[in-house]
Structure 1
Amino acid sequence: MYNDLKHYNLVFIGFMGVGKTTISSKVSKILNREIIDTDKKIIEKTNIEISDIFNQFGEEYFRNIESNIISEISTKKDVIISCGGGSVIREKNVSLLKENGIIIRLTANPHTIFNRVRKSNSRPILKNNMNEQFISSLMKKRDLIYKNAADITISTDYKSIKEISKECIEKSIQFIKYNK
């Protein structure tokens, strides 16, 4: 059944707190594939935490590093890629990720996201803005970008990790059968 996914990367995108890291990890275990987390790669490459990159060098600098990482990993096949929340802001990144991959957009409502990220100090975009209203407004700004980048959209609200992971795999197989 999973042979249909052979040679395709599964790429997880979406707003912070939707479950990209959790779901991509579970899917990588189910499919027995390497997982690549773009944010972790950035930290490995720079030896600097993401919040510190933002504070010291700014978002543009961070996005440039992120684009370089995506350029490197997009040539791989049969991997699971978990992208940082803003990875698909740049169209170039989306094009690279689609070359060998199926882009899965995970979604959740602002209340769910707030509850998932409210105790985190590793969300530089939310610094001094850790509230549902700010999250909602930022989500609205990015929503069209995520929609346009995605091949598949899956809500993570009120579902188990197992249910979401299974849905990601099943919808990816369907996508390949009907679109590739």
Structure 2
Amino acid sequence: MPEQGGGYVVHEGCDHIFFVGFLGAGKSTLARNLGSLFHRPHVDTDRLVERALGKTVAEAFAQDGEDAFRDAETRELARLASRKSLLVSCGGGIVERPENCALMHEMGAVLFLDGDLEDSLRQIRCPERRPDLGTAEHAARVYHRRRPLYEGVADLTIDIRNKTFEQVAHEAGQLLWERGLL
């Protein structure tokens, strides 16, 4: 990887880092903070879909249904192929479509933030904005369905259990730096 002025590493081609994990795992905050630290742009797939549809995730689920939301999510994910060096915070359900998993691998590396359901539920500040969460029982079913999907798509995994956000951010930054991804 050649260096550019200022000591920044310049990557060739599409070299995104995708952060996946269950709701409340800290994906968006991690992408934003690592982006600031390593001078890389960050995006959030849920925000991209909201902009494209002109409505919130909750409104999209309620008005159009989950399938329509997932279609828009796949379209927005595919559009990232024309950009470089993004840190991408992915919506919790992005792994439910195999084509999304394939797209992420074509465009970069996938980092799974692996935590417990109970920790995720505690971290969620606005549950009403999480339409796929539902009741505690439904959330448990969704978590157990998605967890093997996260494990399967992951190139790298960080166990976030019993760690502060600062510890997770440090570990993620170090791991990605050591692998030449940042």
Q: TM-score, normalized by length of structure 1?
A: 0.87
Once residues 119 and 42 of structure 1 are traced to their aligned partners in structure 2, the CA distance between those partners, rounded to angstroms, is: 18
Query: Per the alignment, do residues 5 and 166 of structure 1 end up closer, same or farther by CA in structure 2, a change over 3 Å counting?
Result: farther
Contact 1:9-1:80 within 8 A present in 2 as well:
yes
Query: Per the alignment, do residues 18 and 170 of structure 1 end up closer, same or farther by CA in structure 2, a change over 3 Å counting?
Result: same
1:29 aligns with 2:36: yes
SS of 1:66 mapped into structure 2: helix
Shift of 1:118: 6.2
Query: Per the alignment, do residues 74 and 86 of structure 1 end up closer, same or farther by CA in structure 2, a change over 3 Å counting?
Result: farther
Once residues 170 and 4 of structure 1 are traced to their aligned partners in structure 2, the CA distance between those partners, rounded to angstroms, is: 15
1:6 aligns with 2:11: yes
Shift of 1:55: 0.8
1:73 aligns with 2:53: no
Contact 1:19-1:156 within 8 A present in 2 as well:
no
Q: TM-score, normalized by length of structure 2?
A: 0.86
Contact 2:17-2:87 within 8 A present in 1 as well:
yes
1:98 aligns with 2:102: no
SS of 2:70 mapped into structure 1: helix
Q: Which of 123, 138, 145 pairs up with 1:141?
A: 145
Contact 2:127-2:133 within 8 A present in 1 as well:
no
Contact 1:75-1:100 within 8 A present in 2 as well:
no
Shift of 1:154: 0.9
Query: Per the alignment, do residues 75 and 98 of structure 1 end up closer, same or farther by CA in structure 2, a change over 3 Å counting?
Result: farther
Q: Which runs of 5+ in 1 are unaligned?
A: none
Q: Deviations over 1:27-65 (max 9, x none)?
A: 111111111111001111111111111111111110000
Shift of 1:4: 6.5
Once residues 118 and 126 of structure 1 are traced to their aligned partners in structure 2, the CA distance between those partners, rounded to angstroms, is: 12
Contact 1:66-1:87 within 8 A present in 2 as well:
yes
Q: Which of 148, 161, 166 pairs up with 2:165?
A: 161
The RMSD of aligned alpha carbons is: 2.2
Q: Which runs of 5+ in 2 are unaligned?
A: none
Once residues 125 and 17 of structure 2 are traced to their aligned partners in structure 1, the CA distance between those partners, rounded to angstroms, is: 28
Shift of 1:14: 0.8
| Identical-residue share of aligned pairs (%) | 25
Query: Number of residue pairs matched?
Result: 174
Q: Which of 53, 60, 64 pairs up with 2:67?
A: 60
